Structure 1
């Protein structure tokens, strides 16, 4: 028998760990008696296990009680083959139990992590569904409003500073509000915001309807704005963050008059 190959196979570690059948244990025990070098190797493995168990022994009662409480399983029964032959297997069996227990704890931890991940994914999916449902409801509401025959539609065309810009105001006089479709405006530069104005034309009197602070973040670019004014026109200018008291005409992006 090739002793080095036999040792390298790992069979002695399995023997020490008590992972073999009784017949295999007896066969290996016979070889150990026949080849002293195998006995030396077994003692070396045993010594390593003793060091392991000595280091972990102080936590053993806690570890196994936690395993039993969490997993609710019976203690593993260890069958002793021969006390005289395998006295050192007490250490090996304990070490094997420790390894198995650690694996079980690891499995519980991983299972809990998986449950947490599933719960998180479920919550995110529910939020996405709610958001989609709300978006759909808002879209249906807007369609109803835009199709209302009493809604006043006011197109705003691009001006000198931005000829390609455009927007559209849907004015609901019954609710004193406008719905501004600003999809045709470019994103404002950093530190700037769009400001919406209600205009009286004779004499020219601008009234601020507020700034569009969420323009960049808003995907649909449709904004609801209160307007109780007797507007004759609407305009949109680019102003410093926070808005201006009067419109900066050099930064007038769109303008449109209400049909009389």
Structure 2
């Protein structure tokens, strides 16, 4: 198994972000147990995500607690002592009319029986509805829970956005790393051929059709292998493709068509015949032709 290719596939980042399917999740966990390199990369990715989340986390606003408790209005303790009404009149009096026609008032003897003044009148007592303290605590808890639930939802949304941003950054970083590896391999391949004495370097300069064009051909005179480094060539139009030729015994020999994605690559062409005296590139119809179109020659170089 190509462990490096598996790591660079992006499945470890998706596993950490929780976007993989159950089958892929099981696969990553199994592979991390089998291959220490995958486990190490997985831990590195998890640590990077955790550091990013901690770095960008948002603490609750300092005024959150005060704003919650400010909304709660607790009453003072329930008043339990009430004033009692007088059970008896301070002095119960009875009007007595004497024979002289003058009304006299005397106290009523209440020893044998109590006389209750205003027996049919009941004083109006102010009533007040008192909310139990546990009910207020329950309301406070509900409000607090609702506020924190909203705050948690906001945090989760920001956390997800952070994850998406981190995934994008990881993807961009992975692309940059891949590009650097490709560029490094390209440079190493060129340096190796320039240092290898078995390769003959042939410089192909631009022709009047395209004076700014430049190509380097590397011809292994022992194996007749041909490699190309396209330094500057216009992008071929649709339906067209560049074709390489060598001149052997005054006749053009087809060495193959160039890949249209030739920039930054060392192209491996077909082997040529021994005794090549020159190399040239023409623009032909896609797939190549048996004989070169001389009017469409872009570059040419002689073997020195």
Q: Tell me if both proteins adopt one fold, taking TM over 0.5 as the criterion.
A: yes
Task: Say whether 1:141 aligns with 2:185.
Answer: no
**Aligned-partner Cα distance in 2 for 1:183–1:232:** 21
Secondary structure at 2:244 match in 1: strand
Task: Say whether 1:242 aligns with 2:287.
Answer: yes
Q: How does 1:1-260 map to 2 (within 5 A)?
A: 19-20=69-70, 25-26=74-75, 83-84=131-132, 94-202=142-250, 204-215=251-262, 218=263, 220=264, 222-230=266-274, 231-259=276-304
Structure 1 unaligned regions, length at least 5: 1-13, 28-81
**Aligned-partner Cα distance in 2 for 1:123–1:256:** 42
CA-CA distance at 1:235 after TM superposition: 1.1
Secondary structure at 1:155 match in 2: strand
Secondary structure at 1:194 match in 2: strand
**Aligned-partner Cα distance in 1 for 2:228–2:196:** 15
Secondary structure at 1:188 match in 2: coil
CA-CA distance at 1:90 after TM superposition: 5.3
Is contact 1:167-1:182 (8 Å) kept?
yes
> Taking structure 1 as the reference length, what is the TM-score of the superposition?
0.57
Which structure 1 residue ranges, 4+ long, deviate > 4 Å from structure 2?
Answer: 24-27, 84-93
Secondary structure at 1:102 match in 2: helix
Secondary structure at 1:183 match in 2: strand
**Aligned-partner Cα distance in 2 for 1:111–1:163:** 55
Is contact 1:197-1:210 (8 Å) kept?
no
Secondary structure at 1:227 match in 2: coil
- Bigger relative CO (Cα 8 Å, ≥ 6 apart): 1
Structure 1 vs Structure 2 CA RMSD:
3.4
167-176 vs 236-245, which deviates more? 167-176
Residues 234-254 of structure 1, C-alpha deviation per residue, up to 9 Å, x if partnerless? Answer: 110011233323211110112
Is contact 1:235-1:254 (8 Å) kept?
yes
Residues 191-242 of structure 1, C-alpha deviation per residue, up to 9 Å, x if partnerless? Answer: 322111133233x243242233213xx2x36433232422332110011233
> How many residues were matched structurally?
186
**Aligned-partner Cα distance in 2 for 1:255–1:95:** 82
When Rg is computed on C-alpha atoms for both structures, the one with the higher figure is: 2
Is contact 1:199-1:207 (8 Å) kept?
no
**Aligned-partner Cα distance in 1 for 2:244–2:294:** 12
Structure 2 unaligned regions, length at least 5: 1-64, 77-129
Decide whether aligned partners of structure 1 residues 190 and 197 sit closer, same or farther in structure 2, where only a CA change above 3 A counts: same
The aligned counterpart of 1:31 is none
| Structure with a larger share of its residues in helix | 1
Secondary structure at 1:186 match in 2: coil
CA-CA distance at 1:152 after TM superposition: 0.8
**Aligned-partner Cα distance in 2 for 1:126–1:212:** 25
**Aligned-partner Cα distance in 1 for 2:244–2:168:** 41
Secondary structure at 1:170 match in 2: strand
Secondary structure at 1:129 match in 2: helix
